[in-house]
Chain A
Amino acid sequence: MIEWLIGIFLIIVAVGIIFYIISVYNGLIQLKNNIHKARSNIEVLLKQRSDELPKLISTVKGYMKYEKGVLTEVTKARTSMMNAKTLSQKAAADNMLSGALKTLFAVAENYPKLRADKSFVQLQSRISGLENEIADRREFYNDSVNNFNIRIQSFPDMIVAKWMKFNKPEEMFKASAQDMRDVEIKF
Chain B
Amino acid sequence: MDLTEILLYSIFAVVGGIVLLIFGFITFNNKRLIENIPTSKIRSIAMGLVEIFGSIAKAHEKYLTSPFTDKKCVYYSYSIEEERKSEKSTYWVTIKRGKDSALFYLRDDTGEVLVNPEGAVVDVPYSFNRTGTSIRMPKEVINFMESNRVNYRGFIGLGKRMRFKEYIVEPNQKLYIMGTADDNPYVETGTSEKNSDNVIIKKGAHNKFFYISNKPEKELLKTFALKMWLLLIGGSLLIIGGATYIFIYLNII
Contacts and interface: CB of A to CB of B under 8 A. Distances in A.
Consensus secondary structure, chain B interface: helix
Interface string A120-139: 00000110010011101101
Nearest to B244: A5
Contacts of B252: 4
Contact of A16 (B38, B39, B232): B232
Contacts of B35: 147
Interface residues of A, number: 33
Given A30-B36, A133-B195, A137-B44, A23 B240 contact: no
Nearest to B239: A12
A50 interface: no
A137 B243 contact: no
Contacts of A15: 21
Contacts of B247: 4
A129 B244 contact: no
Contacts of A34: 36-37
Given A23-B29, A37-B48, A4 B244 contact: yes
A8 B21 CA distance: 14
Contacts of B43: 129, 132-133, 136
B32 A27 contact: yes
B46 interface: yes
Interface string A36-56: 011001000100000000000
Contacts, number: 73
A23 B253 contact: no
Contacts of B194: 129
Contact of A144 (B29, B38, B239): B38
Contact of A8 (B25, B28, B240, B248): B240
Contacts of B46: 37-38, 41, 137
A8 B252 CA distance: 13
Interface size, B (range): 20 to 34
| Interface-central residue, A12, A26, A31, A38, by most chain B CB under 10 Å | A12
B193 A147 contact: no
B36 A27 contact: yes
A149 B233 CA distance: 30
Contacts of B36: 27, 30-31, 34, 147
A15 B43 CA distance: 44
A75 B195 CA distance: 26
Interface in B1-51: 21, 25, 28-29, 32-33, 35-41, 43-44, 46, 48
A133 B253 contact: no
B22 to A, nearest CB: 9
Nearest to A141: B38
B55 interface: no
A16 B25 CA distance: 9
B44 A4 contact: no
18 contacts: A1-B244, A4-B244, A4-B253, A5-B244, A16-B232, A30-B33, A30-B36, A31-B36, A34-B37, A38-B46, A125-B193, A126-B193, A129-B43, A132-B110, A133-B195, A137-B44, A137-B46, A140-B38
Which 4 A-B residue pairings sit nearest by Cβ, starting from the closest? A143-B38, A136-B44, A133-B44, A136-B41
Interface of B: 21, 25, 28-29, 32-33, 35-41, 43-44, 46, 48, 110, 193-195, 232, 236, 239-240, 243-244, 247-248, 252-253
Given A8-B240, A8-B244, A133-B195, 6 more contacts: A4-B244, A12-B236, A16-B21, A16-B232, A129-B43, A136-B110
